[in-house]
Amino acid sequence: MDVMPKWADALLIPLISIMIAFAISAGVIVAIGEDPMVALNTMVTGALGSSYGWGYTLYYTTNFIFTGLAVAVAFHARMFNIGGEGQAMLGGVGVALVCLFIPFPHWLLALPVALIGGALFGAAWAAIPAYLQAKRGSHIVITTIMFNFIAGSLLVFLLVEVLKPAGAMDPATAKFPEGTHLPTFQDMFSFGEAPLFRGAPANVTFFVALLACFAVWLLIWRTRLGYAIRAYGHSEPAALYAGISPTKIIMIAMLISGGLSGLMAINAVMGEAERLVLNSVEGAGFIGIAVALMGRSHPFGVLLAALLFGFLYQGGAELSLWTNVPRELIVVIQALVILFTGALDNMVRMPLEKLFLMFRRKAPEAATTAAKAAE
């Protein structure tokens, strides 16, 4: 029997971890001579106080949903896919090739093909570390980290030597044709003379990310394959006894994980930049690890954690713009959140478990005492 109820594990522990992280961050802000309440108000107003702020917050959230889901799927198979960054880079290559070399009359036709291209390239980049883990025993953490660096170098080569237009100076592809441009929130939700989300990059990919959350939930908890993935993740010997192939599970889980990372490029490459550039991933692959940890590898938890980190990214940008708090402090806040939800999870979990266990023991004693008193 679990010591804590599920709601406490899913909600209470992450909430306390976030509060501790923000409390320490407030102390750092005070130490540099700034007012933490002013800083918090600036972050909240900048990220959530206008449609423009929401547009950027949801744009970052979309990136983190894809990479968080990618890490979560691998976690369920007891694998640590740290290569989301490289898989997203290669996903961007797949999206760019689709948008540049296939003529599309409308984005509704371009989007499904680009989704396939991004997912295939991301999955292909994850397939090599997966094969090395399944067949050679090479640790997935080491190989995926190495493949991040290889992906970065390969992207530089492709943008400088292959995909860069003749005469262009910056390492980037040409602008994608108009038929591949995705509608932004400004296009979808603006009515009258005061457009909403003006200038914000949030686009239709956000709804694709929500569908991805639902699809991953269906896969992991409502399919035979999802059961096999979770069974292997809980106990490899038991999975072997049940006839589940470790090689098959490792390959399939990593292919799905890499494909989800590759889908991030739809938002950043096709939706925002409308071309492939060097910094399109923007560290989202690594943030996905924190998102999956905080979200307990559940799609709904990943969605909420991605929204939190989207708020931190946009709020941090506004904080550095309107106050004297350095932008690097937001990285500190993110690191503290990651630290307390990941490495120091037991620091919060163990006292709570003792507290719940104490109440659980006292409840029968109180019932016994009441029964004796009634007699």
**Residue type (1 letter), 187:** D
Look at residue 138 and tell me if it is in a domain: yes
Look at residue 154 and tell me if it is in a domain: yes
- Output the domain CATH number for residue 244: 1.10.3470
Contacts of 349 (CB under 8 A, 6+ apart): 9, 13
**What pLDDT is stored for residue 194 in this prediction?**
76
- Residue 87 near residue 261 (C-beta atoms within 8 A): yes
Give 184 or 283, the one with higher predicted confidence.
184
**What pLDDT is stored for residue 366 in this prediction?**
58
Among 88-102, 127-141, 331-345, which stretch is predicted with the lowest mean pLDDT?
Answer: 331-345
Indicate the number of domains in the chain.
1
pTM value is: 0.92
Mean per-residue pLDDT, 43-55 = 94
**Paired strand residues for 184:** 203
- Residue 103 near residue 323 (C-beta atoms within 8 A): no
Res. 367 pLDDT band, cuts 50 70 90: low
Mean per-residue pLDDT, 218-242 = 95
> Nearest CA to 130 among 288, 249, 210?
249
Burial category of 52 from C-beta neighbours within 10 Å (exposed 0-12, middle 13-18, buried 19 and up) = middle
**What pLDDT is stored for residue 369 in this prediction?**
66
Look at residue 43 and tell me if it is in a domain: no
Percentage of the residues of the chain whose pLDDT score is greater than 70: 95
Look at residue 217 and tell me if it is in a domain: yes
**What pLDDT is stored for residue 372 in this prediction?**
64
- Residue 44 near residue 315 (C-beta atoms within 8 A): yes
**What pLDDT is stored for residue 373 in this prediction?**
65
**What pLDDT is stored for residue 368 in this prediction?**
64
Look at residue 67 and tell me if it is in a domain: yes
**How far apart, in whole angstroms, are the C-alpha atoms of residue 275 and residue 256?**
25
Q: Which residue carries 């990372």 as its tokens? A: 261
Residue range 264-276, pLDDT digits in tens: 999 999 999 999 9
Structure-token pair, residue 285: 């692959």
Look at residue 81 and tell me if it is in a domain: yes
Residue 348 has pLDDT above 90, yes or no: no
Q: Which domain holds residue 257?
A: 57-309
**How far apart, in whole angstroms, are the C-alpha atoms of residue 69 and residue 326?**
30
Mean pLDDT of the chain: 91
Give 64 or 279, the one with higher predicted confidence.
64
Res. 32 pLDDT band, cuts 50 70 90: confident
- Residue 98 near residue 119 (C-beta atoms within 8 A): no
Look at residue 35 and tell me if it is in a domain: no
Cα 113 to chain centroid distance, Å, stands at 23
Residue range 175-204, pLDDT digits in tens: 999 999 999 999 999 877 778 999 999 999
**What pLDDT is stored for residue 139 in this prediction?**
93
**What pLDDT is stored for residue 358 in this prediction?**
83
Structure-token pair, residue 311: 């708020």
Res. 21 pLDDT band, cuts 50 70 90: confident
Mean per-residue pLDDT, 96-123 = 97
Longest dimension (CA), the chain: 95
**What pLDDT is stored for residue 370 in this prediction?**
62
Give 36 or 329, the one with higher predicted confidence.
36
Give 88 or 369, the one with higher predicted confidence.
88
Look at residue 267 and tell me if it is in a domain: yes
Mean per-residue pLDDT, 5-27 = 84
Percentage of the residues of the chain whose pLDDT score is greater than 90: 68
